[in-house]
Amino acid sequence: MPHTFYHLNTSLEPINQEASMKNSTSKQNEITYLQVHNKGETVDGKNNIPHPLLRIVWREGGHYWAVVKDNALICKGKKGKENMNKPECKSENAYKQYDLGKAKAGATDFDIVVGNKMLVVKVDGEQKVNHNIDYWSHLLSYFKVGVYNQFTDGESEAHFYKLDYQVEHK
């Protein structure tokens, strides 16, 4: 809806992330903590896209990243078969990656705002992402929070000290 903004504010602290992935054989080791997903065009899931619009991840090496789906194409699986070979589905075109900065010791505050065809991400009060998501506006989206490992042979932990959700109408 125009002039409706959905806010997720959280404070999270990853625990021993490097140690969690020390035995991993993955090419890219990362942990996803925050996401904006979609249900599709209707609440029953019709025409959903099996890719999140946004993932906030911690990557091996110590930086947080915002990984933003830069189109509304399905690029994998049976439903994405016709799109898989399109240039828009190549990783470098399908996703925009924003370096959110080096992870500090202790908790980091993340503020995510989705609304009026824009996606905004702030880290510790500083705006790091302001991305036009007009291509995503026909989809019903929701926030997803957790600890999702994208590495092999290990477990990870995070502490969430704050988790607030608000809807703002302007």
Residue 48 near residue 38, CB atoms below 8 Å = yes
Give whole-number Cα distances, 62 to 38, 95, 109, 135, in Å.
Answer: 28, 20, 16, 31
With pLDDT > 70 as the criterion, what percentage of the chain qualifies?
A: 99
Residue 92 has pLDDT above 70, yes or no: yes
Residue 2 has pLDDT above 80, yes or no: no
Q: What value does the mean pLDDT take over residues 95-124?
A: 97
Q: What are the domain boundaries of the chain?
A: 4-169
Q: What SS3 class is residue 50?
A: coil
Average pLDDT taken over every residue of the chain: 95
Q: What value does the mean pLDDT take over residues 98-126?
A: 97
What's 4-169's CATH class?
A: mainly beta
Residue 1 has pLDDT above 70, yes or no: no
The model's pTM is 0.95
pLDDT value for 46: 85
pLDDT value for 9: 99
Residue 132: closest CA among 114, 144, 145, 146: 114
